[in-house]
Every structure is written in structure tokens, then in C-alpha cells.
Amino acid sequence: MAAVYGGGPDDSEEMVKRVLVTGSSGFIGRHAVPELVRLGYEVHAVNRRPSPPATGVFAHEADLLDAGQTGDVVRHVKPTHLLHLAWYAEHGKFWTSPLNLDWVAASTGLFKAFVEHGGTRAVFAGTCAEYDWSGDGPLHETATLSNPRTLYGVCKNALRQVVQTYGQQAGTSVAWARVFFLYGRDEHPNRLIPSILRPLLAGQPAVVRSGAHVRDLLHVRDVAGGFVGLLDSDVTGTVNIASGDATTLGDVAREAARLIGREDLLTVERQAATPENPGRIVADAARLRREVGWAPRYDLRSGLRDVVESLRRPL
Amino acid sequence: MAAVYGGGPDDSEEMVKRVLVTGSSGFIGRHAVPELVRLGYEVHAVNRRPSPPATGVFAHEADLLDAGQTGDVVRHVKPTHLLHLAWYAEHGKFWTSPLNLDWVAASTGLFKAFVEHGGTRAVFAGTCAEYDWSGDGPLHETATLSNPRTLYGVCKNALRQVVQTYGQQAGTSVAWARVFFLYGRDEHPNRLIPSILRPLLAGQPAVVRSGAHVRDLLHVRDVAGGFVGLLDSDVTGTVNIASGDATTLGDVAREAARLIGREDLLTVERQAATPENPGRIVADAARLRREVGWAPRYDLRSGLRDVVESLRRPL
């Protein structure tokens, strides 16, 4: 593997893998960046606000919703690789926010600038919400129809079509990663896992409403590992980043309660499924494992244990 | 019908239909604008370059690829209606140009600003290139799959998904017009009809290569009439703007040659169909006729005669 900042004679410019990471301080990005550094990438992180310095990472301040600022950063860095994780992601609001339209515009502009300045390999964060959720089987990259029901899913899916087609035409290698249900340290307290763990740890009762719903959960570090592995591969097209394991949310909550020893405080309800919140969302995760060679480091129990630890620490 | 600039007591602000037209000096736009004026719309035309003054039309100079300029115009005009015809359209280049990405970004931004400033009704120019062209039947708005093969078609189709979903969510009425093969005065000389008519009128031989290909042709004034009728209706979703008539390009050329009296100079070849240039592209045009109440004013013969006249004039 080539040294990143080296100056030796074998260390030609061509060898450097220079990756521009958007959303690098986000939930996935903050785990992806150190893995990219470890793999020898010269990492350029774009953030709207100044971020704390990190070893081996060049920080760039830019608002990606401003086409001029985006162009400036790409022109300056001339990345060979792009890992585009940034998007509007405010809990509860991102499904319907008009800002989804801004991120379509920002992302097409970013990708066009990336291609124009010689970029060769790009990975984008898509979502399982691009799939048709009305079926029963595992959601498969090509066998399952794309049929998003939300503005968020529609905007991601529309961007996918544009960047996949333009990448193919321009000779730029593109992979589109569809993320399923992720969890991990420092999640928004209203999201499923913290909404169970936090009250239980405080000796308060916790309720899971959709206890019979089957989901595909993956620890955020494994999601980040999937993105990095995918970026570092030459796999193109759509790739699910998921465990492939089907778990009911009731079982997830019970496992969490067991780890804390407060199963007595947990109530599992069985709300009916709706088209927006269907009974089953599970990935076919074979592509990521077989073609990228990725494997998760956490199973559900060890992943939950990691989150419990992080929540116990401040107490 | 409300007077446009009137100040009478019955002429309340609510009655004014204030339409922002993009691409108003383009091939379709220049025919759509006078029809909108005739229908009583207060027409605001956006163009990148200064345009000659036209009766009943407010001209605005802005580069729609600049989000700031677009926002300024929308904020200033506060249109109730939007007719978005502008796109990159350079003959021969638009199918694959990276500028298609810029127009996706520009159009999402324009529509978002339109909704934010109280817009209630928008019509967008889509294309028959959004359809799957591999079938044999007439291309139908909902029964035929969307499966574009070109960057142009993919970008239009991606934008369609975004604006239809956001319009539905925001309560803004949206129609997406899919345009088929249009012709008329002042076309690019390399396009089919002028490429036959011009040499024949000059006494030179003309050749049609894809003479067996079946297409759906419509005179640009009827296309413009379709857009205006659609905008003035409350029909939503995707609507083909087309004749619904199947004609071989050989028959089109022979008709044109007959009008000029130079059938002797015409050669009709029968090039094989390809996926990019399939044997048959014909619309199911029932929706526009039935739901909008539109009817064409030209048939193929009178439409061609109109073009021949315009080409004879400067001689």
C-alpha cells in the first residue's frame, strides 16, 4: 500500500488515492474516515462547520448546498475518489423535507464537478426507502423494484438514476449503497435503540410499539466498513449495506433489556403494519459479502452491548 | 376572463393567473407565450439574454443555472403558474451532455422556490425518451414502463419523479408533459424536416435514412397549444403531448417532396432499427384529447405546408 504523504521515488502521484468525504462528521462518516486513513487514503473531509483536527485528514469548510463552494473544494482537492454521505438527515423531518430537493441539486453538481476534475470512483449513500416495500421477500438490488413512497426515498432514487447513468457514460466507476437500519453510539435519543436503552438504564419503563415488525439492523461501524470496503472495490451499481438478518423489533428490544437486566421494565406492543411502516424490511445482503468481501464485526448482541457501554459511561 | 393589468373592483389579486415561463424564446416557448396572453395570463418570461419586447409579456433576464438568480425572479414575480420549458437543447449534443445534470439541479431549485412562494400549478416539459422503447404498442402514460436509455431521458425522468412527489406532498398541482417528435418553422437545419425540405427547395437531392421508422409527429404550434391547454387545466400526472398518429419517416419525406413537387430528388432508405433508434415511437394521445380537451390544428400535410412556406419566403 502506498504511503499517503511520502516523497519516495516509487510514490508517484498516480498511486495516491485521494478521497473527498462529505458528511464526514455525521453518524456514518465519523466511523468511515479512520478506516479510510488506515487503508492509505489521503482523506479530504468537507464540513459546513469547522471540525476538530484528525490525524491524516485534510479538513475543508464548505456548504455543499452552495454550488460555488462545492466547485471550489473539488477544483482544489481534485479527488480520485468520492464518498458522498452528506444529506439532510434531521430525525423525523428528513422523510418529507423540501431540503431533499436541495440535496438532489447539490449532489448532481458535486458529482459533475468530481467527474470534470478527473475523479474515477464514487460511492453514494442511498437508502432502503428506494425499494418497493409491498413485497415479502428480501429486498434485492436488481430483482426488487424501486418504488419509493417518501420524498426522501424518491429524491435519493432519482439521484441514483442520474449518477449511475452519467458515471457509465463518462467512464467513472459508481456504486450506490442502499443503507438499511443502522444503530450505534451517539444516536438521536428518539431513535429506536436509544429510546429503549435510555429509560431502562435510568430505571424507567420503555415501550416498543412495532414489536412484530421485522427489520434488518446493522451497527454503524459495520455500515461504515461496508462503505469503505465498497469504495475500495471496483463493484459498480446498487449494493445493499445490511446484515441480511431478519429480527423483530420486539426481539431487539428484549435483547437490549436483557443486557441491562431490566426486562421487567419493557413493554412490547404489536402495532399493525402500514404501507409507510411495513411488516418486513430485510435486505438480500449477498452482494456486499460476496463481491466486496465485507463481513460484519458486530452481531446484534455485541452491537447492542457497545451502545449500552457508551450510554453507561456518562452516568 | 379577468383582464390582465386591470384595476377594476372585480379584478381582485386572486383572479390573476400569473405564469412564469422558462424557455419562452425557445422552439415551443415562442408559440406558447402568445397563447397564454390570449387566455388572459399575466405572462412573465425568463430568458438568459435580453429578448425583444412582446405585448402583454413581462421580460426577466436571469440565468436559471444560477440558483440565486432563479430565486430572485421567483421571489419578485410570485407566479401562481409555472411553465418550465427551458433545458439544454443543442441539436445532437443534448442526449449525452453533462449539462443535463445542471438542468436537473436548476429545475428542482426552481420548483422548490415556486412552491415556497405560493405557486399552485406547474407544467414541466418531459420527453418520450423517458419511456421504455423496446415494446411495440403505443406509449402510454401509466401502462408503459419508464426506462430511459440516454442521459437526457434519465435526467428528465428523475426530475419528474422529484417534482411529482414534492408537488403531491406540498399540495401543488403538477403535470408532466412528455413531448414526442415536433417540427415547425425555424428548426435546426440538421433536424429531419428541414434536412429534407431545404435541399429539395434548392433543387438538390435529399436522403432519408430511417425511412421505415414509425414516429409520432406534431407541429410545434400544436405542441405549444397542448402545453397551454394542459397548464390551464387541472389534469395532473404524466400527459403525452403528441398526435397519436403513426407515420413512417419515408411517408413524411414523400409528403414533403410532393408539396414541393420534387419527388424525383428524394431517396428513402430503410436503415435497420437499433435500441437507440427503434422502429416505432408512437404515443397514446388519448389523455390530452379527452381530459384536457385539446385538438391539433395541423395535420401532417398542413403542418408541412406551413414549414415549406416559411422556407420559401427568404428565397
The residue-averaged pLDDT of B128-140 equals 95
Among chain A residues, the shortest Cα distance to B107 is held by A105
Q: Helix, strand, or coil here: A32?
A: helix
First vs last C-alpha separation in chain B: 42
Cα within 13 Å of Cα(A190), Cβ side: 4
Which three three-digit cell numbers place residue B36?
A: 397564454
Q: Is residue B101 less than 8 Å (CB to CB) from chain A?
A: yes
Of B96, B157, B166, the CB nearest to A101: B166
Q: Are A251 and A210 within 8 A, CB to CB?
A: no
Q: Is residue B165 less than 8 Å (CB to CB) from chain A?
A: yes
Q: Is residue A196 less than 8 Å (CB to CB) from chain B?
A: no
In chain A, what residues touch B170 (CB-CB under 8 Å)? 98
Each residue of A250-296: pLDDT tens digit?
999 999 999 999 999 999 999 999 998 999 999 999 999 999 999 99
Residue with cell string 466511523: A31
The better pLDDT of the pair B92, B170 is held by B170
Residue with cell string 423525523: A92
The residue-averaged pLDDT of A132-157 equals 96
Among chain B residues, the shortest Cα distance to A102 is held by B109
Cα within 13 Å of Cα(B241), Cβ side: 28
pLDDT given at position B273: 94
Instruction: Please give the Cα distance from A85 to A42 (Å, whole number).
Output: 17
pLDDT given at position A56: 85
Q: Are B282 and B246 within 8 A, CB to CB?
A: yes
Q: What is the DSSP letter of A291?
A: I
Give residues with Cβ within 8 angstroms of B56, minimum separation 6.
Answer: B4, B37, B42, B43
Q: Are A88 and A102 within 8 A, CB to CB?
A: yes
ipTM: 0.92
Q: Are B238 and B126 within 8 A, CB to CB?
A: yes
The residue-averaged pLDDT of B239-259 equals 97
Instruction: Please give the Cα distance from B75 to B69 (Å, whole number).
Output: 10
Counting one residue from chain A and one from chain B, the pairs whose CB atoms sit within 8 A come to 75
Contacts of A165-172 spanning 24+ positions with Cβ under 8 A = A165/B151, A165/B154, A165/B155, A166/A111, A166/A112, A166/A115, A166/B98, A166/B100, A166/B101, A166/B151, A167/A111, A167/A115, A167/A122, A167/A236, A169/B96, A169/B151, A170/A115, A170/B98, A172/A114, A172/A115, A172/A119, A172/A120, A172/A121, A172/A122
Instruction: Please give the Cα distance from B215 to B277 (Å, whole number).
Output: 11
Of B101, B115, B169, the CB nearest to A166: B101
Instruction: Please give the Cα distance from A68 to A114 (Å, whole number).
Output: 13
- Residue-averaged pLDDT of chain A: 93
Distances (CA, A) of B308 to B184, B186, B201: 9, 11, 8
Give residues with Cβ within 8 angstroms of B163, minimum separation 6.
Answer: B107, B108, B111, B122, B124, B174, B176
- A194 pLDDT higher than 70: yes
pLDDT given at position A53: 79
Where does chain A have alpha helices with state H?
Answer: 29-38, 67-77, 99-116, 151-170, 192-201, 220-231, 249-260, 286-287, 300-312
The residue-averaged pLDDT of A202-226 equals 97
Q: Helix, strand, or coil here: A159?
A: helix
Q: Are A60 and A72 within 8 A, CB to CB?
A: no
Each residue of B146-159: pLDDT tens digit?
999 999 999 999 99
From the number of C-beta atoms within 10 Å of its C-beta (0-12, 13-18, 19+), residue A290 rates as exposed
The residue-averaged pLDDT of B278-287 equals 97
Instruction: Please give the Cα distance from A57 to B10 (Å, whole number).
Output: 66
The residue-averaged pLDDT of A199-212 equals 96
The residue-averaged pLDDT of B221-241 equals 98
* CA angle at A133 for the pair A129 and A136, rounded to the nearest 5°: 140
In chain B, what residues touch A157 (CB-CB under 8 Å)? 161
- Residue-averaged pLDDT of chain B: 93
Of B105, B106, B165, the CB nearest to A154: B165
Among chain B residues, the shortest Cα distance to A155 is held by B162
Contacts of A144-150 spanning 24+ positions with Cβ under 8 A = A144/A284, A148/B165, A149/A275, A149/A276, A150/A95, A150/A96, A150/A276
Q: Is residue B145 less than 8 Å (CB to CB) from chain A?
A: no
In chain B, what residues touch A154 (CB-CB under 8 Å)? 161-162, 165
Instruction: Please give the Cα distance from A308 to A31 (Å, whole number).
Output: 18
Neighbours of B91 (CB within 10 A): 11
Q: How many residues does chain B have?
A: 315
Each residue of A276-286: pLDDT tens digit?
899 999 999 99
In chain A, what residues touch B67 (CB-CB under 8 Å)? 67, 105
Q: Are A191 and A315 within 8 A, CB to CB?
A: no
In chain A, what residues touch B157 (CB-CB under 8 Å)? 161
From the number of C-beta atoms within 10 Å of its C-beta (0-12, 13-18, 19+), residue B288 rates as buried
Which three three-digit cell numbers place residue B124?
A: 414541466
Instruction: Please give the Cα distance from B106 to B162 (Å, whole number).
Output: 13
> Would the CB atoms of B101 and A116 count as touching at under 8 Å?
no
A14 — pLDDT class (breaks 50, 70, 90): low
